[in-house]
Amino acid sequence: MRDSVAGTTTGMSISIQGVTKIYGRDSAHEFEALKPISMDIKAGEFVSIVGPSGCGKSTLMLMVAGLLPMSSGVIEIGGRVVTKAFTDVGIAFQDHLLLDFRTALDNVLLQAEIRHIDKDALRSRAVDLFRQLRLEQAMGKYPRQMSGGMRQRVSLIRTIVHEPPVLMLDEPFGALDALTRLQVRSDLESLWLRNKSTVLFITHSVEEAVGLSDRIFVMSPSPGEIIEEITVDLPRPRPISLTGSAEFGKYAGHIYALFEKMGVLHGMAPAAAGSGA
Ligand SMILES: Nc1ncnc2c1ncn2[C@@H]1O[C@H](COP(=O)(O)OP(=O)(O)OP(=O)(O)O)[C@@H](O)[C@H]1O
């Protein structure tokens, strides 16, 4: 299939053409958040968007999900123009948003109630996913009885349990400690490899982008625009230990260099760098 990545996929292609966002248009507080953005994401592709805070990453994702009107441009998912909220999607944000009064399993099964999916079929998929992430012991627990990392991993299961063709993940690991973040990154890759949905992943973390993506779009500071598209040609699965390899480091180093060039990261002045004081 021309517009899908190699292998079996349940995903849909996403086409973003000349999409811009101006908040408060024609008001005294008009603010240009996004310059024209264009990208074609293949069905089953894992794509990350990295960029500095405030460059418009969440704005772009909300427009792709049909949750925020764009100022100009066209977005298509699976060849259909997005004109309203796109429901065939799993969305996850930094906040896990689990319901306090439901157990982990019941939080996941919420998808059956909202989407009118057969509950037994969903339950068996959910239990399978809890097992895959070695979280069986959390199924009967309430969110207050779980660690932050467990809650976020349960939230990830809820995001994907109904096997949506498109996943949109906005900094889903942002609130986690460094070690748990690594675990959830690895979980996400193994879950994605099961059915290869199309993933739009927003992150500040260069290592997460390189560790997970087929392609990375690097954005400029606000108003955001795409300054580089990088194809990550690393084998899968990508164990966390790969992060220390020279190959991985080349990709990460290149993105950090772009951030330095844009003034997002400031290096040490040559004199100070050499002083050793
Ligand atoms: N409803 C709004 N009205 C006006 N400006 C907004 C609105 N929502 C976002 N913005 C502004 O648009 C810009 C882009 O915001 P957005 O949240 O998309 O950035 P981001 O790249 O996701 O940031 P972060 O990485 O910090 O989450 C920011 O300057 C933000 O203040």
Q: What ipTM score was computed for the predicted complex, to two decimals?
A: 0.98
Both 72 and 179 in a single domain?
A: yes
Residue 275 belongs to a domain = no
269, pLDDT greater than 90: no
Q: Which residues pair with 216 in a beta bridge?
A: 48, 230
Both 157 and 46 in a single domain?
A: no
Our answer on whether the CB atom of 69 is closer than 6 Å to any ligand 1 atom is: no
Residue 269 belongs to a domain = no
pLDDT in tens, 61-115: 999 999 899 999 999 999 999 998 888 888 877 776 889 999 999 999 988 888 8
- Determine the atom of ligand 1 nearest the C-alpha atom of 29: 4
Residue 2 belongs to a domain = no
Query: pTM value?
Result: 0.88
For 174-185, the three-class secondary structure string (H helix, E strand, C coil) is CCCCHHHHHHHH
- Determine the atom of ligand 1 nearest the C-alpha atom of 21: 12
Both 44 and 146 in a single domain?
A: no
Pocket of ligand 1, candidates 55, 63, 168, 205: which has the most ligand atoms within 8 Å of its Cβ, to mutate? 55
Residue 220 belongs to a domain = yes
Give the mean pLDDT of 42-70: 94
Q: CB under 8 Å, gap of 24 or more: what pairs does 99-102 form?
A: 99/143, 100/142, 100/143, 100/144, 101/142, 102/142
Query: Residue 267: its pLDDT value, please?
Result: 64
Both 126 and 177 in a single domain?
A: no
Both 200 and 75 in a single domain?
A: yes
Using a pLDDT cut of 70, give the percent of the chain over it.
93
Query: Residue 96: its pLDDT value, please?
Result: 67
pLDDT in tens, 139-156: 999 999 998 888 888 988
Torsion of CA 209, 215, 216, 217, to 10 degrees: -160
Q: Which domain holds residue 175?
A: 7-88+165-263
From the list 215, 167, 155, the residue with the least C-alpha distance to 194 is 167
Query: Residue 180: its pLDDT value, please?
Result: 81
Both 159 and 169 in a single domain?
A: no
Residue 225 belongs to a domain = yes
Asked if residue 138 lies in contact with residue 188, where contact means CB atoms within 8 angstroms, the answer is no
What three-state secondary structure class fits 274? helix
57, pLDDT greater than 80: yes
Both 234 and 182 in a single domain?
A: yes
Query: Residue 7: its pLDDT value, please?
Result: 59
* Residue 165 in tokens: 């063709």
Mean of pLDDT over the chain: 88
Both 107 and 184 in a single domain?
A: no
Asked if residue 156 lies in contact with residue 172, where contact means CB atoms within 8 angstroms, the answer is yes
Residue 1 belongs to a domain = no
Residue 268 belongs to a domain = no
Asked if residue 5 lies in contact with residue 214, where contact means CB atoms within 8 angstroms, the answer is yes
Give the mean pLDDT of 203-214: 94
Sorted by sequence, the CB contacts under 8 Å of residue 66 that are 6+ apart come out as: 75, 82, 83, 84, 85, 86
Our answer on whether the CB atom of 55 is closer than 6 Å to any ligand 1 atom is: yes
176, pLDDT greater than 80: no
Query: Residue 5: its pLDDT value, please?
Result: 58
Both 128 and 242 in a single domain?
A: no
**Residue 255 is part of a domain; what is its CATH number?**
3.40.50.300
Query: Residue 257: its pLDDT value, please?
Result: 95
From the CA of 34, how far away is ligand 1's center (Å)? Answer: 10
Both 246 and 114 in a single domain?
A: no
Both 84 and 183 in a single domain?
A: yes
Residue 78 belongs to a domain = yes
Confidence category of residue 268, pLDDT binned at 50, 70, 90: low
Q: How many domains does the chain have?
A: 2
Domain's final residue, options 163, 184, 203: 163
Least confident of 4-13, 91-100, 154-163: 4-13
Both 134 and 217 in a single domain?
A: no
